[in-house]
C-alpha cells in the first residue's frame, strides 16, 4: 500500500467500495443483538478508509511520514475486529 508507484485507481476503487458499505442500515433491519457487532465493524471500516486515504497521500508525496497514523489505524482495526469477533461469536449462540 505504501509505495510511491502504487496504483491510485485501485485505492480509489477500494475506497469507493468501503464507502458504499457505509450506507445506513435502518435500525428496524438490524437485529438488536447485533448492534455492538455492527458498531465495531463501522469503526474498523472507518479506520480502513483512513488507511487507504493516508496511503494515497503518501503516494502523492504529500506526507513523508505516514507511519504514526498507519500504526494507529492498524491498532484500531485489530482491536475492533477482535471485539467484533467476540460479539459475533456470542450472536451464534
Is 3 domain-assigned? no
Handedness of CA 74, 78, 84, 1 (dihedral sign): positive
Task: Name which of 71, 74, 86, 73 is nearest 40 in CA terms.
Answer: 86
DSSP character at residue 25: P
Decide if 25 contacts 42 (C-beta within 8 A): no
Is 1 domain-assigned? no
How do residues 10-56 score in pLDDT, each as one tens digit? 778 888 888 787 666 676 777 888 888 888 988 998 999 899 889 88
Is 47 domain-assigned? yes
Expressed as residue numbers, the domain containing 87 is 8-91
When pLDDT is cut at 50, 70 and 90, the band that residue 3 belongs to is: low
For cell 469477533, name the residue: 85
Amino acid at each position: 500500500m505504501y509505495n510511491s508507484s502504487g496504483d491510485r485507481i485501485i485505492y480509489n476503487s477500494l475506497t469507493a467500495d468501503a464507502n458504499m458499505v457505509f450506507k445506513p442500515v435502518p435500525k428496524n433491519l438490524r437485529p438488536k443483538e447485533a448492534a455492538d457487532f455492527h458498531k465495531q465493524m463501522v469503526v474498523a471500516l472507518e479506520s480502513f478508509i483512513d488507511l487507504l486515504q493516508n496511503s494515497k497521500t503518501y503516494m502523492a508525496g504529500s506526507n513523508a511520514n505516514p507511519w504514526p497514523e498507519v500504526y494507529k489505524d492498524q491498532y484500531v482495526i485489530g482491536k475492533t475486529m477482535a471485539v467484533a469477533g467476540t460479539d459475533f461469536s456470542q450472536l451464534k449462540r
